[in-house]
């Protein structure tokens, strides 16, 4: 009863933030100096610093290491002072193995926010808006950097997916899909959920995990209402989270299943010249994705056992022929999906054909603005997921993510490909819950690919690993689009998702590691 009090929860969250803020901050001994091509600062501080190897990391400057750690002359502040004395106003000093004051403030803010996201003493939409405020107040970023992500192209893309789901429901297509599955599944909630979630999970590899989640939930909700399934019950949690987790897991199957995959392939080519084609990705990743999708649903069944006494309505009669509205909606959305699949050819961001398709849906009479205004969860799209992107960019800008990556990955030097694979997978799965999985891939790959090359490990292994492991953003609502979309229908609490994710994440990561180790050995990749 005491913990249920909202003020108590807020007090605990604030206390956690203060504790993190008061913890000692490691200064580190290695720094990156940018904007000093003549190395004037190094010449000025030759008694205190020496050049250091970049270990394959790309840099616009150079690395230095302190010769006398612990001394005032061995700090980033000292280097900044030397730059000021030399009138090098454009010079930047970045921490490599230490934690900057900005990163320290960010971590204190993150501890505070994570508690709010899990236990919801205030609505998540308000918490998400507070992200932008706190990033500015703590000096992590400026006003533009804090608020621009709330209208990031990914946010617009998610909005498009939700509007498509509204269009499908209005046209009767989700009802048609739901009844078709229900006729195969009978009145069993478990069979219906398994067939819908697994089917759309596998399909998410083709038309993106966000779209799969939106379509799946729009199909499921009318049947849930018809069966009298109440929000926040075990059955509702099982059904809604199954769609979200299956869609996220299925996104690893192809190169276009999620932006994280394309980022991983792009960084691999940039750093090594090696290319993972569309069919290469399917060859290496599809077996793990195909298995992880039903496995995710099975885990959720064990965590939230649905009430077997609840029966879905039966649909023995066949639905009539397709209506003109259904045909029109299908054609418009197939064209939009086609544009998404061919992004590599035309180069347009997913949000562009997404918005165009919405305009066509309205102009053609499939939707009216009132339909969108009434049914779209604006708070979830703009605030929760936009705030998640802002938080992830703040983690990157503050240097906090880089600090943990540089602290974590050197532990696996000389351990072989499998241990390195496990380390990258675990780190990627954890980090992607606090930042968009695309951002997580973009942050980690530049660090691990040079490490793989130094260790004689095929860099394709880690690129594939990171693209696939970041599919398991299952701990927080802000972790990935399917989570945010599922949460927007208010059938479960944020803590319910975290509870399920704490079980699902290690199970799915273990499955990923085992399957890839066996399958890639057969293919000769490892």
Rounded CA separation 433/388 (Å): 9
Assess whether 243 and 188 both reside in one domain.
Answer: yes
Please identify, among 68, 98, 128, the residue that sits at the C-terminal boundary of a domain.
Answer: 98
Instruction: Decide if 10 is inside a domain.
Output: no
Instruction: Decide if 124 is inside a domain.
Output: no
Query: Could you give the number of structural domains in the chain?
Result: 3
Task: Quote the pLDDT of residue 196.
Answer: 94
Task: Quote the pLDDT of residue 316.
Answer: 64
Assess whether 510 and 447 both reside in one domain.
Answer: yes
Task: Quote the pLDDT of residue 327.
Answer: 93
**Which residue range forms the structural domain that includes residue 507?**
382-523
Asked if residue 176 has pLDDT above 90, the reply is no
Residue-wise pLDDT tens digits, 374-387: 888 777 777 777 88
Instruction: Decide if 148 is inside a domain.
Output: no
Assess whether 85 and 228 both reside in one domain.
Answer: no
Assess whether 364 and 452 both reside in one domain.
Answer: no
Instruction: Decide if 51 is inside a domain.
Output: yes
Assess whether 503 and 415 both reside in one domain.
Answer: yes
Q: Residue 200: pLDDT band by 50, 70, 90 thresholds?
A: very high
Asked if residue 2 has pLDDT above 60, the reply is no
Assess whether 195 and 163 both reside in one domain.
Answer: yes
Assess whether 285 and 406 both reside in one domain.
Answer: no
* Closest to 264 measured CA to CA, from 478, 449, 54: 449
Q: Which residues contact 512 (CB under 8 A, 6 or more apart)?
A: 288, 292, 425, 468, 469, 472
Assess whether 326 and 388 both reside in one domain.
Answer: no
Find residue 49's DSSP bridge partners. Answer: 66
Please identify, among 83, 98, 113, the residue that sits at the C-terminal boundary of a domain.
Answer: 98
CA-angle at 25, arms to 22 and 26, nearest 5°? 160
Residue-wise pLDDT tens digits, 403-441: 887 777 777 777 788 888 898 888 888 888 877 666 677
Instruction: Decide if 117 is inside a domain.
Output: no
Q: Which of 110-114, 148-152, 300-304 has the highest mean pLDDT?
A: 300-304
Where b means 16+ CB within 10 Å and e means fewer, 341-372 reads eebeeeeeebbbbbbbbbebbbeeebbeeebb
Assess whether 89 and 49 both reside in one domain.
Answer: yes
Assess whether 317 and 388 both reside in one domain.
Answer: no
pTM, rounded to two decimals: 0.82
Instruction: Decide if 21 is inside a domain.
Output: no
Instruction: Decide if 8 is inside a domain.
Output: no
Q: Residue 104: pLDDT band by 50, 70, 90 thresholds?
A: very high
Please identify, among 376, 392, 425, the residue that sits at the C-terminal boundary of a domain.
Answer: 376
Our CA dihedral for 235, 240, 242, 246, rounded to 10 degrees, sits at: 170
- If you average pLDDT over residues 268-291, what whole number do you get? 88
More confident residue, 171 or 393: 171
Find residue 311's DSSP bridge partners. Answer: 188
H-helix or E-strand containing 191? Answer: helix 189-207
Q: Residue 514: pLDDT band by 50, 70, 90 thresholds?
A: very high
CA-angle at 174, arms to 296 and 164, nearest 5°? 90
* Closest to 434 measured CA to CA, from 476, 496, 402: 476
Assess whether 175 and 205 both reside in one domain.
Answer: yes
Assess whether 54 and 172 both reside in one domain.
Answer: no
Instruction: Decide if 14 is inside a domain.
Output: no
Q: Residue 180: pLDDT band by 50, 70, 90 thresholds?
A: confident
């Amino acid at each position: 009863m005491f913990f249920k009090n909202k003020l108590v929860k807020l007090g605990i969250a604030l206390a956690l933030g203060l504790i993190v803020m008061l913890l000692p901050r490691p200064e580190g001994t290695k720094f990156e100096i940018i904007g000093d091509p003549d190395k004037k600062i190094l010449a000025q501080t030759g008694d205190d610093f020496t050049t250091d190897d970049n270990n394959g990391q790309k840099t616009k400057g150079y690395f230095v290491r302190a010769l006398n750690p612990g001394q005032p002359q061995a700090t980033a502040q000292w280097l900044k002072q030397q730059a000021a004395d030399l009138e090098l106003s454009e010079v930047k000093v970045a921490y490599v193995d230490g934690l900057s004051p900005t990163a320290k403030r960010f971590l204190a803010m993150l501890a505070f926010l994570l508690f709010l996201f899990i236990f919801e003493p205030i609505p998540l939409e308000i918490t998400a808006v507070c992200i932008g405020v706190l990033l500015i107040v703590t000096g992590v970023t400026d006003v533009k950097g804090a608020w621009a992500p709330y209208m990031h192209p990914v946010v617009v893309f998610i909005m498009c997916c939700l509007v498509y789901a509204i269009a499908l429901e209005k046209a009767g297509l989700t009802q048609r899909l739901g009844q078709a599955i229900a006729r195969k599944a009978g009145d069993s909630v478990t069979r219906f959920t398994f067939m819908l979630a697994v089917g759309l999970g596998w399909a998410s590899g083709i038309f993106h995990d966000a779209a799969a989640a939106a379509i799946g939930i729009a199909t499921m909700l009318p049947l849930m209402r018809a069966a009298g399934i109440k929000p926040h019950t075990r059955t509702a949690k099982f059904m809604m989270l199954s769609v979200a987790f299956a869609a996220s897991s299925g996104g690893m199957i192809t190169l276009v299943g999620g932006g994280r995959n394309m980022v991983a392939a792009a960084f691999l080519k940039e750093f090594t010249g090696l290319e993972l084609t569309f069919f290469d990705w399917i060859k290496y990743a599809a077996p793990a994705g195909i298995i992880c999708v039903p496995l995710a649903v099975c885990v959720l069944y064990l965590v939230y056992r649905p009430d077997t006494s609840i029966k879905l309505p039966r649909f023995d009669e066949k639905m009539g022929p397709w209506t003109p509205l259904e045909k029109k909606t299908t054609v418009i959305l197939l064209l939009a999906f086609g544009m998404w699949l061919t992004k590599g050819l035309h180069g347009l961001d997913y949000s562009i054909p997404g918005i165009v398709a919405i305009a066509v849906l309205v102009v053609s009479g499939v939707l009216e603005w009132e339909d969108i205004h009434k049914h779209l969860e604006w708070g979830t799209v703009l605030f929760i997921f936009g705030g998640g992107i802002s938080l992830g960019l703040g983690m990157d800008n503050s240097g906090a993510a880089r600090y943990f990556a540089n602290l974590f990955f050197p532990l696996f030097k000389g351990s072989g490909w499998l241990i390195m694979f496990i380390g990258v997978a675990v780190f990627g799965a954890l980090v992607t819950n606090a930042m968009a999985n695309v951002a997580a891939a973009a942050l980690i790959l530049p660090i691990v690919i040079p490490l793989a090359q130094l260790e004689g490990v095929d860099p394709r292994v880690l690129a594939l690993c990171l693209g696939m492991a970041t599919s398991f953003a299952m701990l927080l609502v802000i972790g990935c689009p399917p989570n945010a979309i599922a949460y927007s229908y208010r059938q479960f609490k944020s803590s319910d998702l975290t509870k399920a994710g704490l079980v699902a994440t290690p199970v799915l990561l273990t499955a990923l590691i085992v399957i890839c180790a066996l399958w890639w050995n057969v293919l000769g990749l490892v």
